[in-house]
Chain A
Amino acid sequence: MDFIIQNILNALQWGSFYALIALGYTLVYGVLRLINFAHGDIFMVGAYIAFFVAGFLLGPALGLSPFMTFLLAVPLTMALTACVGVTLERIAYRPLRRKGAHRLYVVITALMCGLILEYSNLAVLGASRLKFPELVEKSIWHLGGVTITNLKVIVIVAAVVVFLFLNFIVTKTKIGMAMRGISYDKFAIPLMGIPIDSIIVFTFILGSGFAGLAGLLFAMSYPILEPFMGMLIGWKAFIAAVVGGIGDIKGAFVGGFLLGFIEVGVVAMPFLESTYKDLFGFTILLIILWIKPTGLFGMPQSTKI
């Protein structure tokens, strides 16, 4: 029993990262119908930004305590990562959109942007891995046979809070209404006096900002950074978003945790090797898509988000 509960906690933590990244995919897709393949690398950039922000705040110039650093690093990392996302939108996606390029070319541009982020990181910082400093003093709690750290709790709570927050923004606010409007018809929306570019920038700020948060939390949980850390997790989070029904916030959240549970579950099975993790995981996801091609919560081509 302890074994199962422990693995549920493991899966909740791992799924939280998928969910946080999948939310970013889904937001941008929901508004622009664009699969922002650079999103996993924005997550990676977020982790590196967190590393440098933490290094600066802890460093001799300011010398803050680790906990103060954590409190300040959260908004700073989110803001700086959001800047990276918005920059990508400005220099890569907006010019293509203005020219009326087909969506396919924008997706390929996104893939390219991701590679540029990876390899510019490799070129500037080198292949050597970085060690993320410990910001939250770790306490390990033993509840019966189950062990949980405060960091695990922070990660899981953060994923839930971010989901609730985004859900609130999209469904309850005016700007969320505008986002849903663009998703419905991006040619009619400007006629209603809604500044379409500002709304799209806002979407990128949200998506990239939370990728930054995911990067920070990931770097705290798995404190070894390398330039390609965002690639695989980014792809998997994208698949999670598709299975959840891309464009739907609830779908991304559920899809992320679903993938986390499948991966941890397959590894935890006593009679299965860890090599079967991805094979089983993606077979299950494929079966879900066979049964429901729009994903768990997706609607066939009406309003997304």
Chain B
Amino acid sequence: MLVCSAFLLAGCGEEKAQTIKIGFNLPLTGDIPEVGEGSKNAAEMYLKDINDAGGLEVGGKKYPLEFVYMDNESKAESATNVALKLIDQENVVAIIGPNSSKQAVPAGGTCNDNRVPMISPWSTNPNTTLDRPWVFRAAFLDPFQGPVVADFAAKKFNAKNAAVIFDVSNDYSKGLAEIFKSSWEAKGLGPVVAFESHGTKDQDFSAQLTTVIAANPDFIFVPDNYNQVALIVQQARDLGYQGPFMGSDAWGTPDLIKLCGEQCYGNFFSTHYAAAGAKGATKVFIDRYEKAYGNTPADYAALTWDSIGIMIEAIKNYNKVDSDPVEMRKGIRDGLAAIKSFDGITGSSKFDAQGDPIKCAVVVKISDKGEFVFEESVCP
């Protein structure tokens, strides 16, 4: 009698509601903490939507979602550790993140080896998903972004030559810089007159910039994270450079304006979506995010939202929930591979055989008020 009531208290009578556990591998501290925070905010919004409705309906039954956020400190080695922790200790059925290619490339390898489906919302380096059947992404790729930047700059600035400064220890920055260089040269647009690198922890770029400016480029391409952009732009102006800068999707953070200020105004960068002037579901998302967190969602927040959407669709494709995470992971992977196209708030995309989406890029101008204004949309 006593034993039975003890069991009852412990919940032996009713079956505990099974949850679907998804892990998040995010840079909550380190070089790009804003990226982690934005992704987490978007995920919390999604989680609340689903769980307030009683959970996710799979195979006629509702299962609550459970999100586990872990900090990868914006480091490559921590990102693989976080992936392993999520897989082995938390037993998640799928992982969203890491965002930056620097972490997504190594963590993608870990997830693929352990046969866990992973979606990187923001990584644009081809190596993240290359020959990795378990790894997917929500963002376009650098081999697409590089030519977009080259074409736009050639047209907008009437550029006959270009200079590049990039972070050599960041897969994203290095990969994009090289792709840009080869596409600029392949298009016969002129020479790349300076191709300078720096390290992640560097604060002084004046030696590199002196070389860049001495080569007298028509514009400088800076595929760097926002914190480095702020220093590079300022130091280039201090060294007397007057010309334009062109950036990549890693610029798209409200913090860029906070750190860089007026010196970044008037420059352009390619990105995944433009918040200003958005319509439809994108606008609904932006308004809700602004109301909840008090600032405009950057592209990684929107891409995280879409990544979760893709993941949910994969679970629905599988249409059942296993108690064994290994089984469930396999089901989700097949569900992901079965998705042929997806309409998200960052635009609609089709998936190719590598699990990479084919979608449009936008070029954004930083206005005189520090807003990211839509300039042009480029589709493959």
Which A positions have Cβ atoms within 8 angstroms of B? 2-3, 6-7, 10-11, 13-14, 122, 126-129, 131, 138, 140, 142, 147, 149, 151-152, 222-224, 226, 229, 232-233, 263-265, 267-268, 270, 273-275, 277-278
Contacts and interface: CB of A to CB of B under 8 A. Distances in A.
Given A274-B196, A274-B198, A274-B199, A128 B255 contact: yes
B227 interface: yes
A10 B197 contact: no
Contact of A122 (B29, B37, B214): B29
Contacts of B207: 7, 10-11, 263-265, 267-268
Contacts of A6: 210, 214, 239
Contacts of B231: 222, 224
B238 A267 contact: no
A224 B227 contact: yes
A274 B29 contact: no
Given A128-B34, A267-B208, A275 B234 contact: no
Contact of B238 (A7, A138, A265): A138
A131 B197 contact: no
Contacts of A138: 238
B33 A128 contact: yes
A14 B204 contact: yes
Contact of B197 (A2, A222, A265, A273): A273
The bracket for how many chain B residues form the interface is: 20 to 34
A129 B239 contact: no
A126 B33 contact: yes
Contacts of A3: 210-211, 214
Nearest to A17: B204
Interface string B174-211: 00000000000000000000001111011110111011
Contacts of B234: 223
Majority secondary structure of chain B interface residues (helix, strand, loop or mixed): helix
A13 B34 CA distance: 30
A273 B168 CA distance: 9
B30 interface: yes
A277 B199 contact: yes
B94 interface: no
Nearest to A142: B240
A122 B73 CA distance: 12
Contacts of A264: 204, 206-207
B208 A274 contact: yes
Contact of B210 (A128, A149, A224, A268): A268
B164 to A, nearest CB: 13
Nearest to B31: A226
Contacts of A224: 203, 227, 230-231, 259
B48 interface: no
B275 interface: no
Nearest to A2: B214
A274 B197 contact: yes
B198 to A, nearest CB: 5
B204 A131 contact: no
Contact of A149 (B28, B33, B208, B238): B238
Contacts of B227: 129, 224, 226
B255 A10 contact: no
